[in-house]
A and B are shown apart, each in its own frame.
Chain A
Amino acid sequence: MATVDLKDVKKVYPSGVEAVRGVSIAIPDKELCVLVGPSGCGKSTLLRMIAGLETISSGTVAIDGKIVNSIGPTERDIAMVFQNYALYPHMKVYDNMAYGLRNRGTPKDEIDSRVRSTAKVLELTALLDRRPRELSGGQRQRVAMGRAIVRNPKVFLFDEPLSNLDAKLRGQMRVEIKNLQRSLGVTSVYVTHDQLEAMTLADILVVMNAGLVEQTGAPLDIYEKPASTFVASFIGAPPMNLLPLLQGPAGPALTDGKAVDFAPANAATLGFRPEDADVTFGADAPSGALVLPALVEAVEPVGSESFLHCAAGGNRIVVRVAGRATAKPGDQLRVVARTEKLHWFDNAGKRVD
């Protein structure tokens, strides 16, 4: 059981590319930290630096309080689950799981009992004599998990482990990973580009962009108070509606010139979540709310809810309505968002409260 501390970690490749440009994260014992961000944001590089598969250009990585910059992956006592599972194709499931233990010189009967008990937890007992190519994607994923768990490491590292599974299986495995991680109580770092995975799994969510941390915190805190327009548009599906504001004579105004009198003076962008807005066909304008006349362009019924894609004064916005939508494409309506649900961002894209 261990903490993981990153202090101003940087990765500069020999070509001069800066993949990670100074990241500090402290992960407490037994917590699951999710690194999320678009591809190329440096999240995988960061994970590989924690694993010891990538050298650290500057800064320190500490596992359990001990700086591990210069020691190899084996001695760091970590286990990693790879995106493509990376199972040894010529070994049976049993040997795949036992391999790491054998290399560490664990006694044979202990290997056997550990592999069997892990297999039991992951419901792999019937598959122990199979080879990876005889397994389905989900089963391979389980074996990859088993290979990590059986070692009983200080830290689990997950590199987009679910991205090769179909949507249904992904949902199942997500819950399973969360339950396993909690019951085993192993500190974990999990990399994904899927914000849903990130939201549901994380104890600590780290949103990364272009080699830097945009925001760190509990998933719902980040959801409710995104620190920047990047986070606002990355976390949440569909993403937050962001409307640019102009600096009019009477303070910030929408692009069509209508002043937004309740906006903070330095606001340059206004945002609201699709579920924080209502639509109305009436002409009444409730006070203390943002009202946008909008034209419905498309309706996406999901079943439990529907998403209306609208054009509002040159901006495209998405509004969630519960259940079946009454609006049809081509309808004129008004989108109403209550002021306390609005988010404001300044010129640099930073949150303004």
Chain B
Amino acid sequence: MIGQSPLRTVIAHAVLILGILIVAFPIYYTFVASTQTLQTILRPPLPLLPGDQFWTNYSEALFGGVGRIGGVSVGRLLLNTTVMALGIAVGKIFISILSAYAIVFFRFPLRMVFFWLIFITLMLPVEVRILPTYKVMVDLGMIDTYAGLIIPLIASATATLLFRQFFMTIPGELVEAARVDGAGPWRFFFDILLPLSRTNIAALFVILFIYGWTQYLWPLLVTNSNDMNTIVIALRKMVSFADADTQWHLVMVTAMLAILPPILIVVLMQRWFVRGLVDSEK
């Protein structure tokens, strides 16, 4: 802003710092808890500084196999969740970009009907169709498989819509120039459309990865074996275990580990993410 007075700077910073504290404190507190012994956690008040159990707790969670959830290590849970989140993000992008490509650049009968059919599914969240979907998965024998975790969530009307809107901003002249230059549909897609969509794909990937990572209801239904649990489900199981004490220190470790990959994705892809949201490379 122009002509900013020192007072305004101070107030702006104060508000920002307050905001950061409100957002960051619970995460910090979780981290603190994850470095304490179970006894310290169960005996309030919890100290505000990290304890000395960092290595013990984290190595037990990662390699020891957390007894509460059937001897599955956090490593296994992270792998499951990563496969699922990646599968959903990549799959959604792949399917959406192709369907948007078809809808925007090809003239075929019932084109708009298909578009509206896709569009209408926006109004049909997973929860609404969860029972029939579950039945289908059971019939197909996809319970406790990665396919069962990924496939029912893989179609995305939102992403299709986003790609469609982006494709429609590509000038017709560019499409025609490519035709004159001898680029067929596939070449146009790979040589021109895909590179131009890079930033959009990156932004969408971040959003969809986090969407996949935080899925709760569907993984809860479709996985029975502890081996196939995602980390979110495992966390729940760790907390609400009826016939024993909850191992809060390990819960905290798992929670910390669970939020690490999404943070990594956001941090690593931040530049692309922002460019995808604000920049149109045309």
Cross-chain contact of A90 among B176, B179, B187, B195 (Cβ < 8 A): B195
B171-A86 in contact (CB<8A)? yes
Give the total number of A-B pairs whose CB atoms are below 8 A apart: 61
Whole-angstrom distance between the alpha carbons of A104 and B177 in the complex?
Answer: 14
Chain B residue contacts of A53, Cβ below 8 A? 176, 179-180
Q: Which residue of A lies closest to B196 (CB)?
A: A90
* Interface hit among A33-41, A71-79, A169-177: A71-79
| B43 beta carbon closer than 8 Å to chain A | no
| A83 beta carbon closer than 8 Å to chain B | yes
| B125 beta carbon closer than 8 Å to chain A | no
Chain A residue contacts of B178, Cβ below 8 A? 88
Whole-angstrom distance between the alpha carbons of A85 and B176 in the complex?
Answer: 11
A82-B182 in contact (CB<8A)? no
Query: At the interface, is chain B mostly helix, strand, loop or mixed?
Result: helix
| A89 beta carbon closer than 8 Å to chain B | yes
Cross-chain contact of A80 among B177, B191, B196 (Cβ < 8 A): B177
A78-B182 in contact (CB<8A)? no
* Interface residues in A, total, Cβ within 8 A: 26
Chain B residue contacts of A72, Cβ below 8 A? 179
Cross-chain contact of A86 among B176, B198, B281 (Cβ < 8 A): B176
Cross-chain contact of B173 among A83, A99, A151 (Cβ < 8 A): A83
Task: Bits for A50-68, please: 1 = Cβ < 8 Å to B, else 0.
Answer: 0111000000000000000
* Interface residues in B, total, Cβ within 8 A: 19
| A84 beta carbon closer than 8 Å to chain B | yes
Cross-chain contact of A88 among B179, B192, B198 (Cβ < 8 A): B192
Q: Which residue of A lies closest to B197 (CB)?
A: A90
Whole-angstrom distance between the alpha carbons of A87 and B187 in the complex?
Answer: 16
5 closest A-B pairs by CB: A100-B181, A103-B182, A86-B173, A86-B177, A74-B182
Instruction: List residues of B whose CB falls within 8 A of some A CB.
Output: 171, 173-174, 176-183, 187, 191-192, 195-196, 198, 281-282
25 contacts between A and B (CB under 8 A): A48-B176, A51-B180, A52-B179, A53-B179, A74-B181, A78-B180, A79-B180, A80-B176, A80-B180, A82-B176, A86-B174, A86-B176, A86-B177, A88-B174, A88-B177, A88-B191, A89-B196, A90-B195, A90-B196, A99-B181, A99-B191, A100-B180, A100-B182, A103-B182, A133-B281
20 A-B pairs besides A82-B173, A90-B192 with CB distance below 8 A are A51-B176, A53-B176, A73-B176, A74-B179, A80-B176, A80-B180, A85-B173, A86-B171, A86-B176, A86-B177, A88-B177, A88-B191, A89-B196, A89-B281, A90-B195, A100-B181, A100-B182, A103-B187, A104-B182, A147-B181
